[in-house]
Structure 1
Amino acid sequence: MITKIKNKANKLLAIFDLEKLFVNSGNVFLRRVLGLVLSFLWIMLTTNLFGAEVFGLVSLGQMFISFGAMFFGLGLDTAIVKLGSTHDHYFKGVLQSNFLKKSIILTFVASLIFGVLLYFFKDLIAIKVFNNQKFSNYLLYISIFFFMFVLHKTTASFLTVQEKFTKFGNYYFFFPNLLILICVLIAYQFKLPGYYIILGFLLSYGIFGLILLFSFFNIPLNIKKNISYKSILNLSMPMMISASFLFISNWTDTFMLGAMVSKSELGVYNVAFKLASLALIIIASVNTVLAPKIAKLFSDNNIEGIKIEVQKATKLITWVAFPLVMILILFRTKILLLFGDEFVIGSQTLVIISLGMLFNAMSGSVGQVLNMTNNQKQFRNFTLISAFINVILNFYLIKSSGIKGAAIASLLSSMIINILCIIYIKRKYGFYAFFKL
């Protein structure tokens, strides 16, 4: 029976020419799923062992980490993929320029600046913004160990350039979440305060970032081109702004809920958001494989090739995302009960966010297309528009509808940025990236 299903699946993939994309993205997808399972396990342990309030503070801590990684990562993780996918900088396993070394140096310096700033303003942020003195301890550990998290993000991106997708999946998704799970259990066993969970979160990623950094010392060098810091930043900064404001759109709800509702409600919302984000795992997995491929095709001026690859990717993403979203919607109450009785109030919120994720999936990898085809500035503009609208929507909708209002704002802003990107790609390159039957 299993063999028959497998054979039929292979035939279906062959009909639509998806075999290679499915295998490569499937390797990442499998590790991401395993990592996500572990992620939900440590979230469930945190909510059940430490309570919704502690998880709310952990969620806020993750938001600050993601915020810092977006702004002070300088977009270098995406720039590395773009540069490394061209023969001028990396060819047949040999570095042709010093772009990787200089990118890591820039990442390290920028992340230290963020850590210092956060250290001096941690009490102000905790008390004046979130009215919670406990949160200061979370920010303290973030300020000290933040650079390790950003180092991991930057070094892992180069694995996609090397087409080491299995290793990327292990180091980016599976291993860190396994270590975080262990850290949560240790914190509970020794009755440590909740902020030790955020410390474990940072170290879990940082350890594997350091391992990857040392592994890069073995990459052969044939430095024919010296790329300046200015050139790297000229490429990466628009990507950083795009990623940062995309982050703002994704996390505005969490930030504003943290200031406008109870920490327990914030914890409920973040569980619903993380569940809905299951639909994004296939998007991120496919994009990991797709991004360097688009960059290479664009360097060869092969727009038709980009169209084919993007539309194939959209089909694969939609086929996987749709049933996931339907499961979340149909069994939302039972799923939320796994995290505790107090999380059931997030059922409607889960439905709204899930629909937004489905629209995102069916729109295609529009952000990757723009970033990898020298349209990063246009993508930056679209994210600015979306982020601005999202802030306004959250402000008014949270006031009137609480966490459901934040979910509606997330849905609408996601639709806006995807529609803008779809229209731009159609006008410039003559094809639609979204799902078509």
Structure 2
Amino acid sequence: KINGDLHLKELLKGSGISFAFKIVGMGFGYIFTILLTRNYGAKVMGIYALSLVVLQVGTIIGRLGMDTAVLRFVAEYNSQNKKDMVNEIYKKIIKLVIPISLAISIGIFFLSPYISHYFFHKDYLSNYFRIIAIGIVPYVLFIINSESLRGLKKIKEYAFLQNMGISFVASILLGLSLFIVKNNYIPVTIYTISMFLMSLLSFFLWFKKFNFNSNTNISKPQTLSSNLNNPNLSFGNKPYLISYKNILSISTPMLISGSLGVFLGFIDITILGIFKTSSAVGIYSVAIKLSSIVVLSLATINVIAAPKFAEFWAKGDKEGLLNIARQSTKIIFWTSLPIFIILVIFSTYILQLFGSGFKTGFIALIMLTFGQFINGISGSVGYILQMTGFQIFAQNIMMASVIINIILNILLIPKYSINGAAFASMITLIFWNLTMGMKVKNILGGYVFSFSKKIYKKQKI
């Protein structure tokens, strides 16, 4: 029962807060998309989507996998009241990502004419890529700060930043801009400005919420362990000596697996941009945005579940970890099912909200929705692997998924356009989740997706 399981109560409370912000944030995101498509058309929507691809590639490299690493270690050491460790890890991660992301930003800015000409075969994309490149550094810092707050269990602050902040500001600015000026550069420019503003707010919230007032001292220099099975550290009066090498040894596998996961999200858009028109990209990107509603509950539950996975694993409590994972998966299933049914039945009508030309994407939307439904009901398998020290396995699965996705997209997009891209994404999502789910079963001794009524021993927070 919920009353007897404090971890489930915390999961529901945290997920409820995140869900509320996610709903509002998605609402503003759809307002932004509708304003864009209704006033600028499918072509500009496609340009905007391709610009976001460039942004994502830049930020993936720029953050060096530090977003997942900072979440994992802030959650672990904050739960042990090791504020010194949290503070030092945070500062060193910031010092690592700033020069790298700045170099990436400058590189993309000056190489944008070559990227647009030789890669996408669309010279007019160059200036859009330059605008979005300016936002890479603030966006990387925004992500690091957001995940740091998440590790502290500051769920309201994290949920606002990650789920709502940028879309909220961008939709308001885009709406206001329509009364002043209408230019094809406006949507990308507004999104870049929104990233700057939210980055500043993320720093303010981090320094406000992280109180470095721990009375805990440290006995001798420590290094990060890549395995959370042995979290015991001794204490004394010397500061932690955490080398950049130690941090990178943990973050690099997370960079690879995390970046591969993000790459999977825009491989199809990128290959569509190479072979097809910007209008096709625009229609497909709207279908992707709509299908993501199915995994709304997965995204919101992961906000609180991911740091809890790290806590359970640090304590050696596999039983408790499996229990909370199963509870969260049941919630995801029952909340995703009605959304899945609605999107499949009313796909054409929903797409027409963005313009009459968008209804041609209904088959793609149905396939994408099915793939996301499988993704949702498989549970938080990716986070479980990363929070329990099996990031190398996750990396290998993601690499195989990327290869499968690229091959399918290259084979199918030239002939089947957006429907080929959607089919490739659906197959990849199913492969990725089933293989990770099997590995999690081997680690924890049971499947995450289970309707078994067995209740494990009650946990105390």
Q: Shorter chain as normaliser: what TM range?
A: over 0.9
Closer/same/farther in 2, CA of residues 320 and 201 from structure 1, 3 Å limit: same
Point out the more displaced range, 355-364 or 137-146. Answer: 137-146
In the alignment, structure 1 residue 151 sits paired with structure 2 residue 141: yes
Cα displacement string for residues 104-134 of structure 1 (whole angstroms, at most 9, x for unaligned residues): 1212122111101101210011122222222
How far apart, in 2, do the equivalents of 1:183 and 1:93 lie? 41
- TM-score if structure 1 supplies the norm length? 0.93
Which one of the candidate residues 99, 107, 110 is aligned to 1:109?
99
Aligned letter for 1:319? W
How far apart, in 2, do the equivalents of 1:175 and 1:216 lie? 15
How far apart, in 2, do the equivalents of 1:48 and 1:216 lie? 37
Partner in structure 2 of residue 20 of structure 1: 10
Partner in structure 2 of residue 141 of structure 1: 131
Partner in structure 1 of residue 312 of structure 2: 297
Residue 214 of structure 1: CA displacement?
3.7
Counterpart contact for 2:61–2:101, Cα < 8 Å: no
Counterpart contact for 1:183–1:197, Cα < 8 Å: no
How far apart, in 2, do the equivalents of 1:279 and 1:155 lie? 27
Closer/same/farther in 2, CA of residues 416 and 160 from structure 1, 3 Å limit: same
In the alignment, structure 1 residue 100 sits paired with structure 2 residue 90: yes
Residue 136 of structure 1: CA displacement?
0.9
Counterpart contact for 2:49–2:282, Cα < 8 Å: yes
Residue 305 of structure 1: CA displacement?
0.9
Closer/same/farther in 2, CA of residues 15 and 91 from structure 1, 3 Å limit: closer
Which one of the candidate residues 69, 76, 89 is aligned to 2:66?
76
Partner in structure 1 of residue 456 of structure 2: none
Partner in structure 2 of residue 238 of structure 1: 253
In the alignment, structure 1 residue 247 sits paired with structure 2 residue 284: no
Residue 93 of structure 1: CA displacement?
8.5
Partner in structure 2 of residue 336 of structure 1: 351
Counterpart contact for 2:371–2:427, Cα < 8 Å: yes
Partner secondary structure for residue 85 of structure 2:
strand
How far apart, in 1, do the equivalents of 2:433 and 2:309 lie? 18
Aligned letter for 1:263? S
Partner in structure 2 of residue 58 of structure 1: 48
Cα displacement string for residues 212-242 of structure 1 (whole angstroms, at most 9, x for unaligned residues): 2244345315574221111111111111111
In the alignment, structure 1 residue 161 sits paired with structure 2 residue 176: no
Counterpart contact for 1:254–1:270, Cα < 8 Å: yes
Residue 422 of structure 1: CA displacement?
1.2
Gaps of 5+ in 1: 1-10
Aligned letter for 2:203? L
Residue 172 of structure 1: CA displacement?
1.8
Partner in structure 2 of residue 3 of structure 1: none
Cα displacement string for residues 156-204 of structure 1 (whole angstroms, at most 9, x for unaligned residues): 1111122111121112222321110122124333324222322221221
How far apart, in 1, do the equivalents of 2:178 and 2:432 lie? 41
Which one of the candidate residues 138, 160, 163 is aligned to 1:170?
160
In the alignment, structure 1 residue 187 sits paired with structure 2 residue 177: yes
In the alignment, structure 1 residue 385 sits paired with structure 2 residue 374: no
Aligned letter for 2:193? L
Point out the more displaced range, 64-73 or 389-398. Answer: 64-73
What does 1:303-322 correspond to in 2, within 5 Å?
Answer: 303-322=318-337
Which one of the candidate residues 172, 178, 192 is aligned to 1:202?
192
Partner secondary structure for residue 76 of structure 2:
coil
In the alignment, structure 1 residue 364 sits paired with structure 2 residue 353: no
How far apart, in 2, do the equivalents of 1:43 and 1:301 lie? 45
Partner in structure 1 of residue 390 of structure 2: 375
How far apart, in 2, do the equivalents of 1:326 and 1:205 lie? 34
* Alignment RMSD (CA, Å): 1.9
Aligned letter for 1:153? I
Partner in structure 2 of residue 287 of structure 1: 302
Counterpart contact for 2:79–2:311, Cα < 8 Å: no
Cα displacement string for residues 333-374 of structure 1 (whole angstroms, at most 9, x for unaligned residues): 111110000000011111000000000011110000000000
Could you tell me the percent identity over the aligned residues?
29
Cα displacement string for residues 316-342 of structure 1 (whole angstroms, at most 9, x for unaligned residues): 111111111111111111111100000
How far apart, in 2, do the equivalents of 1:92 and 1:283 lie? 29
Partner secondary structure for residue 225 of structure 1:
coil
In the alignment, structure 1 residue 403 sits paired with structure 2 residue 418: yes
How far apart, in 1, do the equivalents of 2:399 and 2:280 lie? 28
Residue 64 of structure 1: CA displacement?
1.4
Partner secondary structure for residue 122 of structure 2:
coil
Residue 428 of structure 1: CA displacement?
2.7
Counterpart contact for 1:75–1:239, Cα < 8 Å: yes
Closer/same/farther in 2, CA of residues 235 and 221 from structure 1, 3 Å limit: farther
How far apart, in 1, do the equivalents of 2:128 and 2:449 lie? 41
Partner secondary structure for residue 193 of structure 1:
coil
Cα displacement string for residues 408-435 of structure 1 (whole angstroms, at most 9, x for unaligned residues): 0000011111111111122233111225
In the alignment, structure 1 residue 37 sits paired with structure 2 residue 27: yes
Counterpart contact for 1:52–1:263, Cα < 8 Å: yes
Aligned letter for 1:102? K
Aligned pairs, how many? 425
Partner in structure 2 of residue 324 of structure 1: 339
Partner in structure 2 of residue 7 of structure 1: none
Partner in structure 1 of residue 212 of structure 2: 220
